[in-house]
Amino acid sequence: MALNDYRMNSYNSYPTTIDVPREETSSLLAKVLGITSLGFFITSIGVATAPPWGTFVGFIVVIGLVFAINLTRKASPALALGMFLTLSYFMGWQIGPLIQRYIHAFGSSIVFNAAATTGCGMAVMGCVAYLFNINYRRIAGIGMAALLVLIIAGIASMFFHFLSPDTYSWLTLGIFSLLTVGDFARIRAGGAGASAVSLALSIYLDAINIFLAVLQLMGGRRRD
């Protein structure tokens, strides 16, 4: 989840509310969704080919590529796109062993249900961002502050056990839903100077975290 810290560097003095006609941002939205969709497809390949030890390797590669994309997104958009697609594959390695455990425990339907729920939720949040006048910088600030608190609380809970897995998942779901609305609102406002790859990376990471939270909640419900 800390991977989302990179985007705080991208908020400059650009319009903060929905003040760009929809038709002027439709092309940017189409590019972002196209790149994101391709990323999810490649992630599914990564999940299918992930070795049992792939989580740590995938995590390290993803961390490095997030920062590399942030550095090259304007200087070389093609290189940034290639790195995003590589990141998408290794994200599959990172989450693949976890998904395989859920499949073995509950069957493949739980993964498909979590993915479908995530997709529907992302569509609803995108509509909200496009229909209402939203200050994306304010939402991003609140969301990132809440995410930082959640990360600290999660680390502390490893020692003091005051957060249950389901509570942590619900908080994760709420925070990344807020960040998703902010990211779509940013696209609606013209992107604030960010490239389509950077915006797609934000949406992609939001969706991955939402998917994992939903998967955890569905798994917890079945265990009960």
Q: Which residues contact 150 (CB under 8 A, 6 or more apart)?
A: 1, 168, 171, 172, 175
Q: Which residues contact 123 (CB under 8 A, 6 or more apart)?
A: none
Q: Tell me, yes or no, whether 1 lies in a domain.
A: no
Q: Tell me, yes or no, whether 9 lies in a domain.
A: no
What's this model's pTM, rounded to 2 decimal places? 0.86
pLDDT more than 90, % of the chain? 67
Q: Tell me, yes or no, whether 6 lies in a domain.
A: no
The tokens for 172 are 């994760």
Q: Tell me, yes or no, whether 56 lies in a domain.
A: yes
Q: 3-17, 150-164, 167-181, 210-224 — which one is most confidently predicted on average?
A: 167-181
Q: Strand locations in the chain, DSSP E? A: none
How many domains are there within the chain? 1
pLDDT in tens, 180-221: 999 999 998 888 788 899 999 999 999 999 999 999 999 887
Percentages of the chain per state (helix, strand, coil), in multiples of 5: 85, 0, 15
**3-class secondary structure for 192-223?**
CCCCHHHHHHHHHHHHHHHHHHHHHHHHHHHH
Distance between CA atoms of residues 16 and 139, nearest Å: 10
Q: Tell me, yes or no, whether 44 lies in a domain.
A: yes
Q: Taking Cα atoms as reference points, which of 116, 51, 62 lies closest to residue 88? A: 62
- Are 212 and 165 in contact, with CB atoms under 8 Å apart? no
Amino acid letter, 69: I
pLDDT in tens, 150-167: 999 999 988 988 889 999
Q: Tell me, yes or no, whether 72 lies in a domain.
A: yes
Q: Can you give the residue range of the structural domain that contains 35?
A: 16-223
Q: Tell me, yes or no, whether 11 lies in a domain.
A: no
Q: Tell me, yes or no, whether 111 lies in a domain.
A: yes
Distance between CA atoms of residues 219 and 108, nearest Å: 12
